[in-house]
Structure 1
C-alpha cells in the first residue's frame, strides 16, 4: 500500500500540473475531440474526454504508422498497461494481458477481457477464447480499449473491453495495397478497394502472410478476407459485412530453459503443435435517427468458427515390464505411469479393449488432436432517447447463442531424433471425448448520462445477464467410466451496475472516477473439468462436474487527464477485485487437473501516460503502469514439476509428484503479471518525405506459471526491447516502409511454466530441468512498399 500511495501522489502532481497550466492562461487548449462508443453498438458515441475512466483509442493511421505485423503487436507496443505472454510462440497466438487480465486463444485460461468487432462479441462460445488471427488488421478503422468492469460490454468484461470498428467505403475510399518481406521467411501484404456513389458504399479487402518462423518447425500461413456494403441515408445507415479466414498456425510453445541455453533459443521441445482456425461471419447492423435526440441501433449476426489442433507431445506411457515385472502377462504392452510410487500401473487399452503393444512405434510420444465446431448467432437492439435533467438514456437488449461440438483423442507415437512425432495407428480408448454444448445469453442494459452542471457529468448504468449452458455428453461408452457423465444444465444470472463522474474543470483538465461490476459465467470448458476427484487432461478429456460459481469483478478507478494542444497527459489509479476467481489446478501429476473457485484475487495499480509534440516534426510518447496482482485468499495447489517439490525417498536426487502440494497465501503474486510495464515512443518527420520512429517496450520480472506459492528462487527476467520503423514517400501515392524489431538482438522471455523435460531429452542436465520458457523473438528486419490511390 505505501507504493500505491506514492503513485497516487505522482498522479495528483500531474493533475496539479494541468491545473497550473489552466490557471496560467495557456491558450493552447486541446482542439482534437476523440469519440468512443460507450456500448458495443453504434449510436452510443460520446466525447472520450467525458468518459469516466482511462480509455485509450487508436485509428487505422496509428496502426499503419507502427508497421506492426498484426493487431496484438500494435497493442503491445502502443497502448499503456498492455503486455503479452508468448506461450505458444506464434505472432498471431499470444496471450494479451491488460491490467493483469487476459484475452487468449488458448483453452483453459481465465478469460477476463471481452472483444468486439462491429458489435459482435468474438470471444468463442466454447471457452471464451479470442482468436486474434481471425481479425484482419488492415480492415480496422478504430480501436477503443475501455478499462474496468464495465457491465455494458457483457460477459468477460472483468478487466476491460476491446471494441473494434472496421472500415467502410465511406471512411476509407480508394485503392490501398502493400507488400512486405524479410527475416524468418516472412512475407505478406494486403489489398483493399473501397468506394461509394452517394448513398451506397463498398469495401473489399484481402490480407495474408506466410513465414517459416524463427524457431524450428514453426511455419505459418494466414489468409483473411473482409468485405462491407453500406448505405447511408438522411436518417440513418446500414452495413452488411462478411469476415472470413483460413489459417494454419504453428507455435511450438515453451522450451526447457537449459535446452535453450545449450543448443539455442530457436530449439523446440516437441513438434508439431499446429492450430488451424477457420471463420465465416456475417454481420448486419444499422442505426436510424427517429428524431433529433432519439435513435435506434440494431444488429444481427451469424458466426461459424472451426478450430482444429494437432499436437505432438512426449508420452506418459512406458513398457508394462518396468512397472509390473518381466513375468507379468502384460509385460510387453504399454502401461500408464502410476501417479504414486506404490500405485498399480494401468494397462493402456485401445477403443476395442485390447491392450496397446509396446514397441518402437508406440514409445516416446503421443499425438493429441482436437476439433471444435462452433456456430454463434445473435441479435441486438439499442434505443437512445432524452433522459432526465437534460441527459441521455440508452437502453438495449441482446441475445447471443452458440452451439459447439468438441472432439478429442490421443494416439500413441514415436519420437524422431528431432523430437517430432510419428503416429502408430493405436489410439488410447479412454482419451476419446465428444461433447456438444448449447449456450445462450440474454442481456438487458441501460446507461444514463446526466449533466449535473455544464462541466460535471454523472453516468449510471447496469446490465442484467441470464446465461444458460447445456452439456450433452456424446463420448463413446468405451471411454466413459460408470457414473461419469458430462450431461448437465447450468444457469447463471446477475445484475451488474456501474456509475461514474467526469468533471471538466477546464478545457485542459478533467477529473474522473467510476466504480463498476461485471461477471463471467464459467465457460463450458471449465464446467466439464471441475471435479477434483476425476481430473481431466486439457484439452483432451473431460469428466462430470460439480458446480462452479460465476466470477464477479468490481473495479474502482479515479484519475485525471488534460494538457494543451502540444502536451497531453493522463493518469489513473485502479483497484479491481475478483470474487470466486477460477484457475486450473493440477491434480498432483503433470498430466491432469481441474478448474476450481479459489476465492478472491486483486489487481490494483497506477497508470501514467504522456503525449508531447516536442517540436513541429517530433512527437514523443510515454506510458508507465504499476500493477500489483495477487491472491487474496489462501489455498493449496498442486505443482507437480515445481523445483521445490519434496524429494523422493525411494530415488535419491529425484523429486516426487506426491509431494507437489504448495501453499498459496494471501498476498502471493499472480503468475505472469509484471509489476512494472513501460513504453516509450518517438516519431520524427525528418523531412516532408521521410518519417522515422522508435518504440521501447519493457516490463519487470514475472512469476512462473505453477509457482502460485511464490517459492521459486528464480523468476522470468524483466526486459526492454527497442524497435525501429520508418517510411519514405517516393511519390504522393507510393511509399517504402521498414520495421526492425529487437534492434539490439536482446535475449528475453515473455512466458514461463514448469514441465518435465527428461521424459523427452536425454542427459543428466535435464533430470531436474523443470523451468520452461517462452523465448522472445530475435532481431527481425522487414521492408515493403505501400500504394494508396
Structure 2
C-alpha cells in the first residue's frame, strides 16, 4: 500500500438534525450519475486492480492524526502544491473558481484579490456586510476577521501554501461560521520546501508579480523557511491600481516524538475595487420596459464613482506543537496572536445633494486584535479513531467612521469639500468564543464506518457604540450592550465501501454562527448604517443555525480514473442578511431572516489518458428564500415567498480542464468555466418598482470563459527542479460577461456626466477582458 498523506486540516438548546428527504430532481440526478458511470466501471473491473492510495484528511481545524478520506461520510476536495503550480491560475481564489466543483467567484469589487467566493451558495468574502458562511483556516489559525467574519484573501501568503482542503456542510468540528463548509490552508516549512523556489511573471494591465522562498533543515532536527511575495498592477478598469506584499518566516525543531514551529506572518496591501457599474437604464412606458445602454455598455473599463480604496495590514505570530504520546496517541497545541488594520476611502453619491456638494467622501479605520489557543488529543483505540479538542478565541475591535461633504470631478471621482470631516459612528467591541468538541470514526464492520461529532459553542459579543444624531448633530454614546449565545451541535454519518465498487456515504450535521460586532451594531431599520462605514444601533440578533444533509459516492474506477458525486441540502434558520437602503450609497441594516435553503449536487470526474490529464466538474444549485418576507435591496422593497431564488448564484456550472504533455518538458493545456444565468439583486420578485405589477426579468445571461496555458522545462530534473517557463491567455475569446448584477439608480448620463436625475439601472460586476501573461519558475 502506498500512502499519500495530506496534512490534516487546521482542519438555547436545539434538537439535533432531522432526516431530510432529497428533492426529486436531486435524487434523479444522482441516480443518473451512477448509471452513466456503469460503462466506466466495467472498464475499471477489467483492468488490473490499482494500488490503493490512502489520502489522509483532518477532521478538525487543529492537526490530529487524520482519517482516511474513504472512511469519512461527506465529500472533500484536497489539492497539493503541484496542482496549484500546474494550473497557472492568477491566485488562490482564481484556482478554486476554475477547478473546484461548487465554487464560484463574483468580481463584485473588480480587484483580483478581493473576489467574493461562494461554495454551494455560501460566502467567504472580503465584502463587509456579506452573509458569511464559510470558515477559513491557515495552519489552524482562523482568518475570518472578528469584524464581520470577512476573509481578506490578499493577506494569505499564497506562494507558501502547501495544500488546501475544502470540507462541505455544517461540520460542527470546524467551529463557528461553518454553515456551508470549511476551507483550510497549510503552509510550507523547511522540511516540505527545501532549497530555493522563485517565480516571476508579468503581462496585461501592467501586472507584475514576484515570489521567492528558501527552506533548509539539518540532521539535528532544526528547520527554517522564509518566503515573500510582491504584486503590483494598474488594473484593467479605470482607477483600479493595486499592490500588495507579504512575508512568512518559520523556524522549528523535530526531535524524537515532539515537533514544533513558530511562524511570523506580515502582510500589507493597497487595493482598489470600484465595484458595480450601470450597464443599462430602464424606462417604463405603458407597461413596456425599454433598455438604454449606459456607462458599461459604452465603455467596458468604466467605473461608476471612485475612489474605493482599501488598505489592509497584518502581523501574526503563531506556535504549533505536536507530541506523539505513544504509538496510537498524539497531542497537538496551537497558540496565536493576530493584529490587523483596515483603512478605507470611499466616494459615494450624497444622500441629500446640496448645490455643488453632490457627493460624500467617507473614510473608515478598523483596528482588530485577536488571540487564541487550541488543544487536541487524537488516537486510535481498537475499532475507534477519535479526537477530542478545545478552542478559545478572543478579539477586540475598534472602529471609527467619518463623513465629509464633497463633489464629483469630470471622471466621477469624489473630492472632499471645504467642510471638515464629521464623525459618523464609532464602536468598541469585544468577542470571546469557547468550543469543546469530540469526534469518533468507528469501524462497525470491515467496510463500514460510522462517524459522530459533538461540539458545544459558547460566544459572547459586546459593543460600546457612539453615533451622531442626524437632526441635531449631537454625539450620543450608547450603553454597553452584551450578548451571549450557546449551541450544542451534533453530526452523524456513515460510509460503506461496496466490494470491488464505490464508497457510499450519508451524513447529517448542525452548526451555528453568532452575530458579529458589525452586525449587532447595524441592526436598526430606523437608523441604517453605511457599509463599510457607520454603525447606528445595536438591537439583538439571533444566532444562525444551519443543518446539512448529504449523500454521495466516491468511486476509483481505475488507477487513472476517479469519480465522485454528492447531493446535499442545507437549511439556515435566522440567517443574517444585510438589507440595503441604497446599492450605490451602501446604506442599510442587518436583520434575521426566518429560513433559507441551499440544495444541489456536485459531480467530479478526474482522469488520465496517456499524456493527457483532465478534470470535469458539474454543479447544480438551488439557493432560495424559504419564508415570506420583505427584503430591502437597493432602492426596492422586494417581496419574497418560499422558493424565491437568491440573486447572484447560477443554477448550473460546468468546469473542464485538460493538460497534454506532448514532449519531454513541454505541456499545453486549457480550462473552461460555463455558468447559467443568474438573478439580479433587487429583481428577485421580477419587478423593477414596488407598486408596479409588470414582471421583467433582469437576470444576467449565462456565459463561458476559456483560458489557455503552456509551459516548457529546458531540463527535466527530479521533483520538478530547475527552470520552467510559462505563458497563459485568460478569456481567450475576449468574452464580455458579468458575474453579479443589482437593480439601483444612477445619477449620471450614459456618457458619465452628473445630472442629478435618478434613473433605474441594472448595475453589473464586469469580468476581465482577454489578457496575456508570461513568467518563469525556478526550484532547486
TM-score where L is the length of structure 1: 0.89
Question: Is the 1:486–1:543 Cα contact (8 Å) retained in structure 2?
Answer: no
Alignment partner of 1:600 is 2:598? no
Partner of 1:120: 141
SS at match of 1:426: coil
Partner of 1:294: 329
Alignment partner of 1:265 is 2:300? yes
Question: Is the 1:409–1:427 Cα contact (8 Å) retained in structure 2?
Answer: no
SS at match of 1:9: helix
- Counterparts of 1:396-475 in structure 2, within 5 Å, are 396-427=389-420, 429=422, 431-475=423-467
Partner of 1:632: 626
Question: Is the 2:190–2:224 Cα contact (8 Å) retained in structure 1?
Answer: yes
Alignment partner of 1:581 is 2:616? no
Of 364, 367, 381 in structure 2, the residue corresponding to residue 370 of structure 1 is 364
Question: Is the 1:583–1:598 Cα contact (8 Å) retained in structure 2?
Answer: yes
CA distance change for structure 1 residues 710 and 123 in 2, over 3 Å: closer, same or farther? farther
SS at match of 2:326: coil
By percentage of residues, which structure has more strand?
2
Tell me the distance in 1 between the aligned counterparts of 2:262 and 2:299: 49
Question: Is the 1:397–1:442 Cα contact (8 Å) retained in structure 2?
Answer: yes
Alignment partner of 1:385 is 2:379? yes
Q: How many residues align?
A: 726
Partner of 1:698: 674
Question: Is the 2:466–2:475 Cα contact (8 Å) retained in structure 1?
Answer: no
1:287-346 CA-partner distances (Å, limit 9, x unpaired): 100011111000100111111111112222323xxxxxxxxxxxxxxxxxxxxxxxxxxx
- Counterparts of 1:274-673 in structure 2, within 5 Å, are 274-319=309-354, 360=356, 363-387=357-381, 390-427=383-420, 429=422, 431-475=423-467, 485=478, 487-506=480-499, 508-562=501-555, 563-587=557-581, 591=585, 592-615=587-610, 617-639=611-633, 641=635, 660-673=636-649
SS at match of 1:128: coil
Partner of 2:245: 223
Q: CA deviation at 1:419?
A: 0.8
Unpaired runs of 5+ residues, structure 2, are: 1-22, 281-293, 688-695
1:229-278 CA-partner distances (Å, limit 9, x unpaired): 12122213111111111110011111110334443110111111100111
Tell me the distance in 1 between the aligned counterparts of 2:231 and 2:421: 37
Tell me the distance in 2 between the aligned counterparts of 1:284 and 1:536: 39
Unpaired runs of 5+ residues, structure 1, are: 320-357, 642-659
Of 759, 770, 777 in structure 2, the residue corresponding to residue 768 of structure 1 is 759
Partner of 2:747: 758
Q: Which moved more, 1:536-545 or 1:45-54?
A: 536-545
Q: CA deviation at 1:550?
A: 0.6
Tell me the distance in 2 between the aligned counterparts of 1:377 and 1:425: 42
CA distance change for structure 1 residues 587 and 735 in 2, over 3 Å: closer, same or farther? closer
Alignment partner of 1:719 is 2:719? no
CA distance change for structure 1 residues 54 and 18 in 2, over 3 Å: closer, same or farther? farther
Partner of 2:272: 250
Q: CA deviation at 1:41?
A: 1.2
Cα root mean square deviation, aligned? 2.1
Question: Is the 1:30–1:508 Cα contact (8 Å) retained in structure 2?
Answer: no
Tell me the distance in 2 between the aligned counterparts of 1:42 and 1:589: 42
SS at match of 2:118: strand
Tell me the distance in 1 between the aligned counterparts of 2:726 and 2:43: 38
Question: Is the 2:734–2:769 Cα contact (8 Å) retained in structure 1?
Answer: yes
Question: Is the 1:577–1:600 Cα contact (8 Å) retained in structure 2?
Answer: yes
Q: CA deviation at 1:380?
A: 0.5
1:18-65 CA-partner distances (Å, limit 9, x unpaired): 76567x453243533322211111124122222211100111111111
Tell me the distance in 2 between the aligned counterparts of 1:525 and 1:488: 13
Tell me the distance in 2 between the aligned counterparts of 1:765 and 1:373: 36
Q: CA deviation at 1:486?
A: 6.3
Question: Is the 1:15–1:509 Cα contact (8 Å) retained in structure 2?
Answer: no
Tell me the distance in 1 between the aligned counterparts of 2:500 and 2:562: 12
1:2-25 CA-partner distances (Å, limit 9, x unpaired): 432331222332565576567x45
Q: Which moved more, 1:733-742 or 1:438-447?
A: 733-742
1:204-237 CA-partner distances (Å, limit 9, x unpaired): 1011110000011111001011111121222131
Question: Is the 2:425–2:536 Cα contact (8 Å) retained in structure 1?
Answer: no
Alignment partner of 1:682 is 2:658? yes
Of 115, 125, 132 in structure 2, the residue corresponding to residue 104 of structure 1 is 125
Tell me the distance in 2 between the aligned counterparts of 1:578 and 1:481: 40
SS at match of 2:149: coil
SS at match of 1:544: coil
Alignment partner of 1:240 is 2:262? yes
Question: Is the 2:683–2:697 Cα contact (8 Å) retained in structure 1?
Answer: no
Question: Is the 2:726–2:775 Cα contact (8 Å) retained in structure 1?
Answer: yes
SS at match of 1:176: strand
CA distance change for structure 1 residues 190 and 482 in 2, over 3 Å: closer, same or farther? closer
Q: CA deviation at 1:400?
A: 0.3
Question: Is the 2:242–2:270 Cα contact (8 Å) retained in structure 1?
Answer: yes
Q: CA deviation at 1:688?
A: 1.1
Question: Is the 1:229–1:239 Cα contact (8 Å) retained in structure 2?
Answer: yes
SS at match of 1:522: coil
Question: Is the 1:15–1:561 Cα contact (8 Å) retained in structure 2?
Answer: no
Question: Is the 2:465–2:537 Cα contact (8 Å) retained in structure 1?
Answer: no
Alignment partner of 1:10 is 2:45? no
Q: Which moved more, 1:582-591 or 1:60-69?
A: 582-591
